[in-house]
Amino acid sequence: MSIYIARSPAVSARSLDGEMIIMSTKDSKLFTLNEVATEIWQAADGRTPLSRIVQDVVCAKFEAEPEAAYADAEDLCRRLAEHGILVISDQPLESAR
Amino acid sequence: MTSDTVIEIAGIPILLRSHDSVFEPAVRKYYADFITPVASVAPVELTVEVDASGFPDPETVGAGGAVPVVDVAWTGDRWRLERFDFRGEWSPGTGRGQVCLAQPQALQSIDSVLRILHSILAVPPGGCLVHAASAVRNGSAFVFPGVSGAGKSTLSGLIPSDATLLTDEISYVRQAEGGYRAFGTPFAGNLGAPGKNVSAPLKAVYLLNKGPRNKIDPLSRKEAATALLRNVLFFAKDPELIRTVFETVCRLVASVPVYRLTFLPTPEVWEIIA
């Protein structure tokens, strides 16, 4: 079963040169995302399952192998969630920005 | 007897009202270049008291290499600030506040209070305080961010006679006249002396990096924003303040070139800064 991901409202984010920089507005910690992570972040609308994001965005744009790509994407999302800059749920999230 | 002293940094006056006979002359001497006449209404007024009671023994602070904690919090209608050597509060609504210092002659205490207040006051008009040296040369300002040991004071100590040092430690950058402007601050680093109270349009930012030879490399906007944000002073963990500073820095790197300056600690480094 796939997870759903949404960008946390407790961040400021900006795409610069095609890659995202994100700052937590809780503790001013700074994060930078690479190209693949940026695509996942931008697709994190809370309604699209991560499996679909991986299939439609990661695999399509970066020619990644679906199973490994999903595992990497889920690992990334869980790490970002630990820092409070991404929200993860088993159900669609209504509070997506 | 009450004495009022106004210290104006980056065009923002802060009035310090004190009854302490030791505090006031020490402040006037150290901040001499930033003292302005007392206006009828100052936007920020701080009543300063000196009372060591309730503070920890200075001998025990920093024992074992511990870094003193600065606590800056928004309580709903005022900022509360506290460290081992001062505690106080300031209300943006009234513009008034008070601060209690543990020692009258400890200039670093009031200096830290001023740094914290300016790190808050700079934000609404599109500015921020940056851990950086800065200087004015040929009518333009240059800012040199860097962590401790990156070379801020070293570069500042090599400044040529035709340039003016704004600070060797904490730079003040603010949106102005369709661009950005850097202001002199009294906030000193290893040089131990205040900067000059002048300002100029910001022409470039050079991220400091000591190396085997002098060279300049351009940074991407992502690299520039990341580097600059890592050097912004965030004393207050306030979401709106952080959000505004983030946007300010992103706008700044879109309009001001940011480079990495690798340098040898010799005066020749200033020949490539332009």
As a whole number, the mean pLDDT across chain A is 92
Is A94 exposed, middle or buried, given 0-12, 13-18 or 19+ CB atoms closer than 10 A? exposed
CB contact under 8 A, B237 and A27: yes
The per-residue pLDDT for B8 is: 95
- pLDDT for A33 equals 95
Confidence of residue B21 (pLDDT cuts 50, 70, 90): confident
Q: What are phi and psi of B129, to 5 degrees?
A: -100, 135
pLDDT band at B1 (very low <50, low <70, confident <90, very high): confident
> A4-89 maps to which CATH number?
3.90.930.60
Chain B residues inside the 8 Å CB shell of A16: 220-222, 225, 250, 253
**pLDDT over 90 at B59, yes or no:** no
Gap from A38 CA to chain B (nearest CA, Å): 13
Query: Which stretch of DSSP H or E encloses residue A78?
Result: helix A66-82
Triad A39, A40, A43: Cα angle to 5°: 85
Give tens-digit pLDDT for A33-77: 999 999 999 999 999 999 999 999 999 999 889 999 999 999 999
Asked if B16 and B90 touch (Cβ cutoff 8 Å), the reply is no
Q: For residues B138 and B201, give the distance between their C-alpha atoms in angstroms, rounded to a whole number.
A: 11
**Nearest Cα residue in chain B from A29:** B230
Q: How far apart are the CA of B220 and the nearest CA of chain A, in angstroms?
A: 7
Q: Provide the shortest C-alpha distance from residue B222 to chain A (in Å).
A: 5
Helical pair A35-43 and A66-82, crossing angle rounded to 10 deg: 70
Question: Which of B220, B222, B242 has its CB closest to that of A28?
Answer: B242
What mean pLDDT comes out for the span B72-78?
Answer: 92
pLDDT score, position B40: 63
Q: What is the pLDDT of residue B66?
A: 61
The C-alpha atoms of residue B205 and residue B239 are separated, in whole angstroms, by 26
* Average pLDDT value for residue range B203-224: 95
d(CA B9, CA A52): 54
Chain A residues inside the 8 Å CB shell of B246 = 12, 14, 23, 25
pLDDT in tens, B171-187: 999 999 889 999 999 99
Q: Where are the domains positioned within chain B? A: 3-121, 128-272
Strand pairing partners for B218? Answer: B259
Is residue B222 within 8 angstroms of chain A, CB to CB?
Answer: yes
| pLDDT at position B92 | 94
Taking a C-beta distance cutoff of 8 angstroms, is the pair B36, B29 a contact? no
Percent of chain B with pLDDT over 90: 78
Query: CA B171 to CA B134: how far, in whole Å?
Result: 6
| Of residues B220, B240, B242, nearest to A23 (C-beta) | B242
Measured distance CA(B147)–CA(B235) in Å, rounded = 16
Looking at every residue in chain B, the average pLDDT score rounds to: 92
> What would the pLDDT profile of B151-165 be if each residue is shown by its tens digit?
999 999 999 999 999
The C-alpha of B238 sits at a distance from chain A's nearest C-alpha, in angstroms, of 7
Report the gap between the CA of A24 and the closest CA in chain B (Å): 8
What is the pLDDT confidence band of residue B106, given thresholds at 50, 70 and 90? confident
With contacts defined as CB-CB under 8 Å, which chain B residues touch A19? 222
Q: Between B106 and A81, whose confidence is greater?
A: A81
- Taking CB atoms and an 8 Å cut-off, how many pairs form between chains A and B? 44
pLDDT confidence band for B63 (50 / 70 / 90): low
Residue spans of the domains in chain A: they are 4-89
Interface test with B, best of A7, A16, A19 (most B CBs within 10 A): A16
Looking at the predicted structure, is the pLDDT value of residue B232 above 90?
Answer: yes
The dotted CATH code for B128-272 is 3.90.228.20
Instruction: Quote the pLDDT of residue A97.
Output: 47
Residue A95 has pLDDT above 60, yes or no: no
| Measured distance CA(B53)–CA(B57) in Å, rounded | 10
* Averaged pLDDT, B11-40: 89
Whole-number pLDDT of residue A96: 47
